[in-house]
């Protein structure tokens, strides 16, 4: 089963594709590492003016992280290391010195929502949905940095609906809210992304770089240490039960322990 992140550069645009179609482009650790490496390489390439990120298969952007990896977690410390790793993997994307566009077919869930939120602009199909339904699926949590980034882009009320109610929010609402720049029919997405890329590439690149990196630094300033909360969640019986139930295809029963 293919699980990779691909990058092709064409006429100053990097086209980055998440290719794990059999799992709706769920991110493995190897894919996260590839994404980090690609972004670090793009940041050093003066020939690249813009990057477009898209999931393969036409049905999903990224559906989250590969759940099987959580089977090896034993204590809350494993969760702290995992969440620190996700922050480390995504930081080069959030701080790319060029404009970035996420093209979302179908859904952006969990890690997919985080990746889309690290991009500067998002366009999606009309039927796309967005969320982090971990309160219904695994019973884990997000890092303080990840939550802060989502709140900055979506607002605290929508993030609470995603995290506390496990809601999947439709594209129409997120376009009205401003998270999505526009929505399109599936066969219009590619051209819409290229049209947006054309607009961005006509503008001053240093102004774009300085502006987006200033915003990124503001969003990450003064983050609290929430490692105790992450350890409590990943060390809970509920989390271990949630992972096992997910992998067995059964609904979890939460105990609050």
| Token couple for 123 | 């366009």
What pLDDT, on the 0 to 100 scale, is given for residue 222? Answer: 87
In Å, the largest CA–CA distance within the chain is 55
In a domain, 154, yes or no: yes
C-alpha dist (Å) from residue 2 to 20, 56, 229: 6, 11, 35
Residue 119 lies in a domain: yes
Mean pLDDT within 59-86: 94
C-beta of residue 92 within 8 angstroms of C-beta of residue 43: yes
Which tokens sit at 25?
């482009």
Q: Return the beta strands (E) in the chain as ranges.
A: 4-10, 13-19, 50-55, 100-104, 107-109, 121-125, 129-131, 169-170, 182-184
Is the sign of the CA dihedral 91, 32, 84, 141 positive or negative? positive
* 200 domain-assigned: no
Domain enclosing residue 180, as ranges: 4-186
Give the pair of three-digit tokens for residue 51.
């990057």
CATH number (domain holding residue 33): 3.90.226.10
What would the mean pLDDT of 55-81 be, rounded to a whole number? 94
pLDDT tens across 157-198, in order?
999 999 999 999 999 999 999 999 999 999 999 999 999 999
When divided into structural domains, the chain yields a total of 1
Q: Is residue 12 part of a domain?
A: yes
What percentage of the chain has pLDDT greater than the value 90?
Answer: 96
The answer as to whether 153 is a domain residue is: yes
The answer to whether residue 102 sits within a structural domain is yes
Q: Enumerate the β-bridge partners of residue 18.
A: 5, 55
**Predicted confidence (pLDDT) at residue 1 exceeds the cutoff of 70:** no
Structural domain includes residue 223: no
pLDDT confidence of residue 68: 87
Give tens-digit pLDDT for 109-122: 999 999 999 999 99
237, part of any domain: no
User: What's this model's pTM, rounded to 2 decimal places?
Assistant: 0.96
């Amino acid at each position: 089963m293919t699980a990779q992140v691909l990058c092709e550069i064409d006429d100053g645009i990097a086209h980055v594709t998440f290719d794990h179609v059999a799992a709706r482009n769920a991110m493995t650790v190897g894919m996260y590492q590839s994404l980090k490496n690609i972004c670090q390489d793009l940041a050093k390439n003066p020939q690249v003016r813009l990057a477009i990120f898209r999931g393969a298969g036409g049905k999903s952007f990224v559906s989250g992280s590969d759940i099987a990896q959580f089977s090896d977690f034993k204590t809350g410390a494993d969760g702290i290391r995992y969440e620190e790793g996700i922050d480390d993997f995504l930081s080069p994307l959030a701080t790319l010195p060029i404009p970035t566009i996420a093209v979302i077919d179908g859904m952006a869930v969990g890690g997919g929502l985080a990746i889309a939120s690290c991009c500067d602009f998002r366009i999606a199909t009309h039927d796309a949905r967005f969320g982090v339904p971990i309160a219904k699926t695994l019973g884990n949590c997000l890092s303080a940095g990840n939550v802060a980034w989502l709140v900055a882009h979506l607002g605290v009320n929508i993030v609470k609906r995603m995290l506390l109610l496990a809601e999947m929010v439709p594209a129409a609402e997120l376009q009205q809210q401003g998270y999505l720049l526009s929505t399109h029919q599936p066969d219009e997405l590619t051209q819409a992304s290229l049209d947006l890329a054309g607009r961005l590439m006509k503008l001053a690149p240093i102004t774009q770089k300085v502006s987006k990196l200033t915003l990124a630094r503001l969003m990450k300033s003064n983050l609290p240490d929430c490692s105790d909360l992450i350890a409590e969640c990943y060390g809970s019986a509920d989390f271990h039960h949630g992972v096992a139930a997910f992998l067995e295809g059964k609904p979890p029963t939460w105990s609050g322990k």
